[in-house]
Chain A
Amino acid sequence: MGVKLILAAAIGITISATGATGAFALTNVEECTGTASNRYRCTAEWGYVGEDPYNVDRFSTIASDGSKHGCTSFAAYMVARLSPWMPAISTFDSAQYWDTDADTRTAAVLSAVPKVGDIAQWNADSQLTFGHVAYVMSVEKSSTGRVLYILVADDNGGRLVTTQRKLYPGVRTGTISWPDKFITFPKNPPAPGGSGGGGGDVIPLITPIGIN
């Protein structure tokens, strides 16, 4: 029985590997792209307009129209909406270090498997000079539980627009490749009688600093 399971698993991996090759026609696509006249179009549903309660936007890029843009600022904004207040977020470094910072300075959990509400994280390489982070909006799975694709939303300091992108595991063509890690921050408890998630709008505007 155990042998059968191992064989099935091995064959499954083989099929999966073949499937990845077969799926090469898939391409990671931008489903939404902000415009010069509406740069925050793709994050409007959460009310993000370039600033976050953790003041991570102090490192954002400023466009000629004065709007601020930074992937970490939007990620911090979403964490502030969904999670209890974590002062350490204010001290996080650039996107490439968000996994390490989250792991060592907060109660966040790192994973290779995406969940809705996670922060997707990319390490730095020759294409992503400073790494990248984005908010996982949805995770589409097959009937067997295999992740088919994810939809992420982000802000972009280089391009100065927000986007939403559909990303497929293992696919390299298109807007950006699959994230390196997924960061799950602790979530606010569901509001009594509410549907849960997405709450947490009452947050301090500045990190408390002063005499203990």
Chain B
Amino acid sequence: MRANRIAISSVLAAVGVLTIAQCAFAAESSPVKVINGTKVFKQLIPQDLVWGSASLSASTKAIEYQATEINSALDKLVAKGAVKVVKTFVKTSTTAYPDWKSYVPTFTQYKLSGLDANGKVVATSAKLPSDSANLASRLVYLKQSECAATGMQPSSLPVCTISNPTSEKYLRAALRTSLGNGQSEDLGGYIYQQLFTCLKGKKPFTVKSGVFDCPSNAKIFGGERRFKLQGSFATRSYSIVINSSKFTATMTYGPANYSKLALTGTYDSGSVVRFG
């Protein structure tokens, strides 16, 4: 039995070595070195961006939409006979926005409950803001934790009011949302895969006038075989240096450039401002 255990251990150890070797081989074998390849939105979006008129107009529409959404919820509470509005926060995942504190005062969604004169809940709203995937939507919210809405019986409660963020603040959070949701997805990965596939296979390629051309890639990448060795995506530039004799390359990303994107905001629907 002991001998069996040793034999098994030996085999498993051998497998382990093979596996580790395989992983090590995989990790070290890439012919393409990437510099500054980390996710762009790990950097904070600057607070001093100049937003174009289109972006500013888009933010106004988005903020108006959100105010209407809250007012609509309040109107429904009034219609149900509520005399008091109570705001209750609900658990909200921050997974997608670990950096939310840099953009909005609170990330948690809330519900509005309407209470009648006896303190009984007569209606409760859906979660607000409704678009939890949109970071910017957190900037428009009911200010009070308890209040009386317009149309409710006069009381000692403060009147319900809705926050009105500046367009600049709203757009900054909207741009963060855009980056996080891939609207400004760059093609760095696609270019990397073409480069990796060509160089790894030691396939014939040419570099002419700053364009990399690997004919064998065409049948793998849906006809694509060429790309520029220097260029710009929506948020950052890139440059590639090829070592033809060694079939290796270094792909370097430039720093994030948000200035151009800041001018491209457009209103879509709901609380979403698009960029790019």
Contacts and interface: CB of A to CB of B under 8 A. Distances in A.
Interface string B211-246: 000000001111110000000000000000000000
Main SS of the interface on chain A? mixed
Given A104-B93, A172-B196, A175-B220, A209 B126 contact: yes
B220 A174 contact: yes
B193 A127 contact: yes
B18 A129 contact: no
Interface stretch (A58-66, A107-115, A141-149, A180-188): A58-66
**Which of under 10, 10 to 19, 20 to 34, or 35 or more describes the interface residues of B?**
35 or more
Contacts of B268: 58
A100 B94 CA distance: 11
Given A30-B222, A59-B133, A97-B95, A72 B11 contact: no
Contacts of B276: 61
A29 B124 contact: no
A203 interface: no
B180 A14 contact: no
A70 B182 CA distance: 8
Interface in B155-207: 177-178, 180-190, 192-193, 196-197, 200-201
Nearest to A163: B222
B22 interface: yes
B138 interface: no
Contacts of B4: 3
A7, A157, A158, A207: which has the most chain B beta carbons within 10 Å? A158
Contacts of A49: none
B181 A93 contact: yes
Given A93-B181, A208-B126, A211-B125, 11 more contacts: A13-B19, A27-B220, A33-B223, A59-B272, A61-B183, A61-B185, A70-B183, A101-B93, A125-B37, A130-B181, A174-B197
Interface of A: 3, 6-7, 10-11, 13-14, 17-18, 20-21, 27-30, 32-33, 55, 58-62, 70-72, 90-95, 97, 100-101, 104-105, 124-131, 156-159, 163, 172-176, 207-212
Given A59-B272, A212-B123, A94 B8 contact: no
Nearest to B197: A173
B233 to A, nearest CB: 8
B201 A7 contact: no
B130 interface: yes
Interface in B68-95: 73, 76-77, 80, 93, 95
A1 to B, nearest CB: 11
Contacts of B219: 29
B34 interface: yes
A65 B44 CA distance: 32
Contacts of B272: 58-59
A158 B187 contact: yes
A7, A70, A127: which has the most chain B beta carbons within 10 Å? A127
A158 B233 CA distance: 9
B144 interface: no
Contact of B188 (A14, A58, A61, A129): A129
A18 B224 CA distance: 31
Nearest to A158: B185
B18 A14 contact: yes
Nearest to B217: A174
B269 interface: yes
Nearest to B180: A94
Contacts of B132: 91
Given A61-B185, A129-B186, A158-B190, A172 B126 contact: no
B102 interface: no
A194 B181 CA distance: 37
